[in-house]
Chains A and B, each alone.
Chain A
Amino acid sequence: MRTRGQSIVTRIVGSLFLFSLLITGMAGFFATRQVSASLSQSIQDRLTVAVGMKEVELRRMVEKQKALVEIFSRLPDVRRQARILVSRPGTRERAAARAALAGLLAAPSLQQLGWREVLVLGSHAGKVEFATEAGHEGDFRYDDRFFLQGLRATSVQNVYPWPVTLQPTLTIATPLADDRGATLAVLAVHLNLDRMDEIVSGGIGLGKSGETYLIDRYNSFVSSQRFGRHDFPRGAHTDGIDAAVQGRSGSGRYLNYRGTPVVGVYRWLPDLDLAMIAEVAQAEALAPARRLGMAVAGIGLAGAALLMVGIYFLARRIARPILAIKDTAVAVADGDLDAVAPILSSDEVGVLARAFNEMTARLRNAQNDLERQVAARTAELRGALVAAQQASRAKSAFVSAMSHELRTPLNAILGYAQLMGMGTGRSDPAEFPGFASKILVAGEHLLALINDVLSVARIEENRVDLAAAPFALRELALGVEGMLLVRARSKDLALVVTVDPALPGGILGDEGRLRQVLLNLVGNAVKFTRKGRVELKLLATAEGRLRVEVADTGPGIAPEELPRLFNSFVQAETGRRAKEGAGLGLYLSQSFVRLMGGEIRVVSELGKGTLFSFELPMTASDPPVASALLRRSYRLEPGQALPTQLVVDDLEDNREVLATFLASLGLTVRTARDGREAVAIWEQWRPGVVWMDMHMPVEDGFSATQRIRSRERAEGSARTPILAISASVFDKDQISILEAGCDALVTKPYREADIVAALGRHAGLRFIEAAGPGPAAAGSLAEAGALPAGWRRGMREALGKGDLDAARAKVLELPETAAGLRGTLLELLAEFRLDELERLLPMPAEDA
C-alpha cells in the first residue's frame, strides 16, 4: 500500500521532470539555433566586410606593384642592361648585363616587394634573355599573353597557371623601350602570390580559426606554400569555392576544404581572376551559441532538479491526506467504524476526508439502528413468548376454574333434583317450594357461563355480530341494578345507579351485550367490594357519546396486573383468591365494548377502589314499546285443534321438563326413552308433534327420524313435525339434523319462548302472550302471598307513597331463598307496574 502511495508521488515527479526536461531541451535547442543563425549571420556580415576590404587591398596592391614595375622598367640602368641583353651580345657581355640586373634586383627595397621572378624577354621572339630563375633563361615565351600585352603597354595578366611553372601566377609586364622609344624587350614580373595570399589571410580578426585565402579559376590554391598541391590533385572543392569559381559571391555554412564546418564568405574577383574565400570554423564562431545553449540547458536542468524536489514535497503533501484517507478506508473495511480520517486540509482532499467521515458516521448509525431494532425485536419476541406461556398457563387455569364453576351450579341442580326425586315419583313443584327456582337459577348461571365461553369462542373466531335494536337505557340500568341489588344488600354495600337525564330515552344498539358488560362490571364491583359502595353511572358526554362509569371502593387492582386485566382466561389476584369466575368477564366486556366502538379504561388504586369507564357512540331512537324484562306467560288461543305431543329423550329430567311445560299449556303429552320406543309410539299413537333428542342410546334421533319419514313416505301420510332438540350449536350438526328429516332445531338449553316459537311455526299453534307472570312466576307470586304480613304492610306503604326506592329496599329485604320472587318484584318495580304489585301483594288479612 505504501508503494502505491509512493508511486503516485513518483509518477507525478517523474512526469513533471521529463516534461521540464523536454521543455528545457527545446528551449536550449531553439536558443542555440536562433543564436547560431544570428551569430552566423553577423559573422557572415563581418566576413563580407573583411573580404571587401581585402579585395580593395589586393587591388590596391596590384596597382601599386604595377606602378613599381613601371618605375623599375624606367630605370636607365635597367633599360641599358636590357638593351645589351637583346642585342645578341657575347657571353661576357651577357653575363655582365645579367649580373648588373641581378644586382639591381638584389637591393633590399626591391626584395621586399614580393616579386617572385623577374624576366626580360626580347621583343623579337619572346626569348627569355634574363630570368631570376636561371632555368627559365633561353626559353621562348612568344605565345604568353603577358609577353604579347607587355609589348604594347604595362599590363597585368591576372592569376593564371604559367605553363612553365604550372603555378598560379600573376604577371605584370611592361615594355622596355630604347632611347628612341622603340620596344626592345618586355620586363615581366611574376608576383609572389604566396605573399599576396599571406597579406589577404592576415588580420580579419575572427579568431584563431579564421582564414582567408585565394583560389584561381580552376579550383587551385593560389598559394602553393600554405596548401600542398598534392593534397588536392583535382583542386579544392567546397560549396564556397565551387560557387565562387563559377563567378558567384555569397556566404553560408558548409564544410571547408579540410572538412571542417565553417561559416564562410566567398567572392569572385573578376578583375583579378581570383576567388577570395574567408572562413571561420563554426566550432569557434558559434561557440557563444553553444555556450548559451549549454547554459540554458544547464539552468534548465538545475531548474528541473529544483522543480523535481519541490514537486516531490508538494506531491507528498498532497498525497499524505489521500494516504490517510486510504488508511482510514482500510480500517473501516476491516470493521473499525470508529476510524476517522484526519482532515488535513480544506481543499478537495479535505472535502473528500470530511465526506468520507460522514459516510462512516452514517454507516455507524445505520448499524446502531440495526442493533437497536434487533434488540427491540428480540425483546418483543421474548415478550410474545412470555405472553404465550402466560396464555397457556391462563388456559390451564381457566380449565380448572371452569371445572369448579361448572361443578358449582351443577351440584346445586343435582342436589335440588335429588331432594325432589326423593319424594313421590312425580314432581310437584308445590311439594318443593323454592327448589325449582334454585335449580332454575343454577341452570341459568350455568347457561350464562357456557354462553360466556361460547362468546369467547365467537370473538376469537370473529363471528360476533352486534344487534342494532332500539332499547331503553334507563330500563337497562335499572335491570342491572335489580339483578345485583340483592347481592349488594347482602354484603351491606350501597349500589347507586345514576342515569343522566340528558341521555335519550332510547338508543339503537345491542342491548343484550351491553347488559352483559354492565352486569359483569357492576357484578365484579359488587363481588370484590367488601364495604362502601358501588356506583353505576350512565352519562352523556359533550360529544353526544354514552359514557359509562362503574366505580367501587374495593381493594383495587395492582398496577402490574392492570395490563393483563382484559386478557382472556386471566384473573386478577383478587379474582383468583375468590375462586370464583372463569376470568372471561372482563375479556368479553372489553371485546364487546371494542366492537361497539369504545374502550374500557381502568383507574385503580390499591386499597381505595377502582373505576372502570368506557364511552360509546350512540344513535338516539324511540324507546321500545314493550319491555322484554318481564317473563312472558303463554296461553293457547281458545278454539284450536291441539296436536298431541311426543317427547323423546333418554334423560328423564329433560323429558320431564319439556313434558311438564307442554302439559302446562294444556297439550296431551307422551314420552319415549329412545328412538325405537319413539317410533313404536308414533306408529301406534300418531302424535301431532315429535320432540326428538338426537343423541340417545339404542336408537338415536337421526335414525328414528329417518324411519318415521320413510314410513310417512311409504304410507303417503301427512308429515309429522319433528322438532329436534340438541345441545349442538355447530352449523354442520344443524345441517345434518335437518337432512335427517327434522323440521327445526331447538338448541339446548332452551327457554319456554323457544318452545312456544317452534310450536307456533311448525304446529301452527297460536299463543296469547301474557305480560303477566307466567307459570314460572306463579310459584313466586304464590310465595309472595306467603310473605310475612309486616313485610307486606311496609311494602304496600311504600308503594302507596310511590316511594320506589323504599319499595325496592323492601324487596331486597327478602331472603336469598326467595330469589325468584325478588327478581319478579324488582322487575315489576322497574317497570312501575305498581297495580300489578298491589295485586300480587294483597293486604294482610288482619289489615283487611
Chain B
Amino acid sequence: LVGWWVAFPKPGRLGLLLCAGLLAGACRRPPPPPIQIGLVTYDGSGLNGTPTSNAVRLAAEEVNRGGGLLLAGRRHPIEFQTETIREGSPEEAVAAVQKLINQGKVSAIIGPQNSAEAVPAGGVADRSGIPLISPLSSHPLTTLGRPFVFRVCVKDAVEGAVLAAFARETLKARTAALLVEERVATSRTVAEAFRREFLVRGGRIVADHAITEVTEGTAELEPVLRQIKRSQADVLLIPNYQTTTLQIGRAARRAGIRSIFLGPDSWSRRHLLAIPEFDGAYMMSNWSAELPSAENARFVGDYARRFGSEPTETAALTYDAAKMLFAAIAATPDGAPAAIQKALAGSAGFLGTTGLIRYSGTGDPEKASLVLQFRGGRAIMARQVALAEGR
C-alpha cells in the first residue's frame, strides 16, 4: 500500500486524501433510527390514562438511559407515538390503532387497556400483523384467534374461575348470587366463568340477575335486589366497573343484603376500599404493591420517586407490558413486527412486577393472580393463586 501511495503522482495525492475523507464522512453511520412503538392511552378523565402513560414513560426512560435497545450490535432508542383517546370509545381506539399502524409505522403497540377498546383495536393490529399488548384487557375476544395480540392480565374467565374457587374453597360459600351489568362484556364473561366454576365446585347459584343500566333509583334495580336479598346467598358477585359496582353495592347494603361482595379486577380498589359498604369485600387482582418480589419492590419505589404517587395495578401491568415488549424486540434481529410477535409468543417467561409471565400458544399469559380483601380501608392480599390459567 505504501509503495502504491508513493507511486501515486504527487498532485493526485491531495485529491485522493480528499476523496478518502469524503468517503469516510459519507460512510460514518447516522445515529441508529429509534424504534417506534405505539401507545394508546386515555385522557385524564378516566382512571387508566395517567398510570398507563407513566408506566410506559418509566420503562422507556429506563431503557433509553442505557442508550436504547441493542439490536444487531447497535443501540436504538425507544420512541413512543402516543394516541390519546377517551375511555369507553371503541371507535376512537380503532382509529388510533389504525393511524399508528398505517401512518405512524409503529413496530408494536401497547394499549388500549379496556376491553371495550382493546377488542376492536386488537382486531386491527392482528389483521395488520402488528403486535399489540393490552396490559389490562381481560375480555376473551381480545386475544381470541389473534396471534399478534397479547395481554398481561389474566382473562375474564380466569378471574371468574379464581373468584368461584376462592368463594367455595376459602370462604366456604355454598350459595352465590350474581348481578351482571348486561351491556358490559367483562361483566358477562366473568359471571359466566364464575357460574360454571362455582357449580363445578358444588356451589349453588341462588340468584342470577342482569341489569342493562344502573342508575340509582331506577325501577329496574330494586326488584333485582329484593330477589337477591331473599336468596340469602353467601356471596354476591358484582362483576362490574367501579361506578356501577359502587351504586349496586350501596343499594344492596341498603336493601339489607348481607352477602360477601366479590368482584373482578375491573373494580377499582382505590375507589372502593374506603367505602364502608365494601369493607370486607374480596376482589380478584393481577398485582399488589405487597407482592414480595425484588422487581415489584424496585418498580414501586421507582414509580413513586418518578411520579410522586403510588403505582396502580394498571401501571404495574403496563410497566410489565412495556418491559416485556422491549425484551422481545431486543431478542429480534431487526425489530420487525413479525419477529417481535415470535419473540413474545416464544418467550420462556418474563419476570415482571406482576410475577412471571409466559405465553403458551395464545396471547393469554400463564401467571399467578391474587385475591385481595378490603379491610379497614386497605387492600390486603388474601390469597395468591399460582398459575391460575383458566380452562
A: residues with CB less than 8 A from B are 122, 124-127, 140, 142-145, 160-164, 166, 217-220, 229-230, 233-235, 237, 245
Contacts of B213 in A (CB 8 A): 124-125
Chain B residues positioned under 8 Å from A245 (CB to CB): 103
* Contact of A143 (CB < 8 Å), options: B101, B116, B212: B116
Question: A218 and B99 in contact (CB under 8 A), knowing A140-B183, A143-B91, A163-B94?
Answer: yes
Give complex CA distance A143, B116 in Å.
9
A218 touches B182 (CB 8 A): no
Asked if A219 and B103 sit within 8 Å, CB to CB, the answer is yes
Contact B98 A218 (CB under 8 A): yes
Take A124-B212, A164-B120 as given contacts and tell me if A220 and B102 are in contact as well, using a CB distance cutoff of 8 Å. Answer: yes
A230 vs B123: C-alpha distance in the bound complex, in angstroms? 13
A-B contact pairs, 10 of them (CB 8 A): A124-B213, A126-B183, A140-B182, A143-B91, A145-B91, A161-B98, A163-B117, A233-B101, A233-B128, A235-B98
Complex CA–CA separation, A166 to B101 (angstroms): 14
Query: Mask for B79-106, Cβ within 8 A of A = 1, else 0?
Result: 0000000001111011100110111010
Closest chain A residue to B106, Cβ basis: A234
With A and B bound together, what is the CA distance between A58 and B182 in angstroms? 39
When chains A and B are docked, how far (Å) is the Cα of A405 from the Cα of B257? Answer: 203
A-B pair number, CB within 8 angstroms = 76
Does A218 lie within 8 Å of B103, measured CB to CB? yes
Whether the Cβ atoms of A143 and B88 lie closer than 8 Å is yes
Q: Which residues of A contact B91 (CB under 8 A)?
A: 143-145, 160-163
Of chain A, the residue at the smallest CB distance from B126 is A166
B201 within 8 A of A: no
Contact A125 B102 (CB under 8 A): no
**Contact A166–B95 (Cβ < 8 Å):** no
List the B side residues contacting A235 at CB < 8 Å: 98, 101-103
Instruction: Please tell me which one of the listed residues B93, B99, B129, B184 contacts residue A163 in the complex, with CB atoms under 8 A apart.
Output: B93
Is there a chain A Cβ closer than 8 Å to B124's Cβ?
yes
Q: Which residues of A contact B130 (CB under 8 A)?
A: 233-234
Task: Report whether B128 and A166 are in contact in the complex, using a CB–CB cutoff of 8 Å.
Answer: no
Chain B residues with Cβ below 8 Å from A142 are 183
Q: How many residues on B have C-beta within 8 angstroms of the other chain's C-beta atoms?
A: 28
Chain A residue nearest to B101 in the complex (CB): A234
The CA-CA distance from A386 to B182 in the complex, in Å, is 161
Out of A144, A161, A230, name the residue touching B124 (CB < 8 Å). Answer: A161
Question: In whole angstroms, how far apart are the Cα atoms of A677 and B120 in the complex?
Answer: 183
> A160 to B96, alpha carbons, bound, how many Å?
11
Indicate if B119 sits at the interface (CB-CB under 8 A).
Answer: yes
| Complex CA distance for A217 and B212, rounded to whole angstroms | 34
Complex contact B103–A230 (CB within 8 A): no
Give the residues in chain A near B271, CB-CB below 8 Å.
none
Expressed in whole angstroms, the minimum distance between the Cβ of B285 and any Cβ of chain A is 26
Task: Evaluate contact between B120 and A163: CB separation under 8 angstroms.
Answer: yes
* Cβ of A94 to closest chain B Cβ, rounded Å: 15
Q: A125 and B120 in contact (CB under 8 A), knowing A143-B91, A230-B127?
A: no
Complex contact A233–B212 (CB within 8 A): no
**Which chain B residue shows the least CB distance to A160?**
B91
Q: Are A163 and B102 in contact (CB under 8 A)?
A: no
Q: When A144-B90, A163-B120, A229-B127 are in contact, do A218 and B105 touch as well, CB less than 8 Å?
A: no
- Cβ–Cβ < 8 Å partners of A161 in chain B: 91, 94-95, 98, 120, 124
Say whether, besides A125-B182, A143-B91, A164-B120, A218 and B127 are in contact (CB < 8 Å). no
Given A144-B91, A218-B102, A237-B102, 8 further pairs, Cβ under 8 A: A126-B183, A127-B182, A161-B120, A230-B127, A234-B101, A234-B105, A234-B130, A235-B102
**How many Å lie between the Cα of A230 and that of B127 in the bound state?**
7
B131 to chain A, nearest CB (A): 12
Q: Check A233/B120 contact, CB under 8 A, given A124-B212, A163-B91.
A: no
A231 vs chain B, min Cβ distance (A): 11
- The 4 A-B residue pairs whose C-beta atoms are closest, nearest first, are A163-B120, A235-B102, A140-B183, A163-B90
A529 vs B174: C-alpha distance in the bound complex, in angstroms?
Answer: 204
A234–B183 touching, CB < 8 Å = no
Task: For the complex formed, measure the closest distance between the CB of B48 and the CB atoms of chain A, giving whole angstroms.
Answer: 16
Give CA–CA (A220, B123) in the complex, Å. Answer: 14
Residue of B nearest to A237 (CB): B102
Q: How far is the CA of A234 from the CA of B99 in the complex (A)?
A: 9
Q: Which residues of B in the span 212-269 have a Cβ within 8 Å of any Cβ on A?
A: 212-213
CB distance from A767 to the nearest CB of B (A): 115
Q: Which residue of B lies closest to A146 (CB)?
A: B91
Collect the chain A residues with CB atoms within 8 Å of residue B102's CB: 218-220, 234-235, 237
With contact pairs A124-B213, A125-B213, A126-B183 given, residues A218 and B90 touching in the complex (Cβ less than 8 Å): no
Given contacts A125-B212, A163-B93, A220-B102, contact A233 B127 (CB under 8 A): yes
Contact A143–B89 (Cβ < 8 Å):
yes
Residue from the list A125, A230, A237 in contact with B183, Cβ < 8 A: A125
Contact A166 B120 (CB under 8 A): yes
CB pair A233 B93 closer than 8 Å = no
Contact A143 B99, CB 8 Å, known A125-B183, A229-B127, A233-B127: no
> What 0/1 readout, one digit per residue, does chain B (126-152) give for beta carbons within 8 Å of chain A?
011110000000000000000000000
Let me know if A166 and B123 touch, CB within 8 A: yes
Contacts known (A218-B95, A234-B102, A234-B105); A127 close to B120, Cβ less than 8 A: no
Contact B95 A160 (CB under 8 A): yes
Chain B residues in 8 Å Cβ range of A233: 101, 127-130
Chain B residues contacting A217 (CB-CB under 8 Å) are 95
Task: List which B286-312 residues lie within 8 A (CB) of chain A.
Answer: none
- Name the CB-closest residue of B to A144: B91
Query: What's the least CB distance linking A166 to chain B, in Å?
Result: 5
Nearest Cβ in chain B — how far from A165, in angstroms?
9
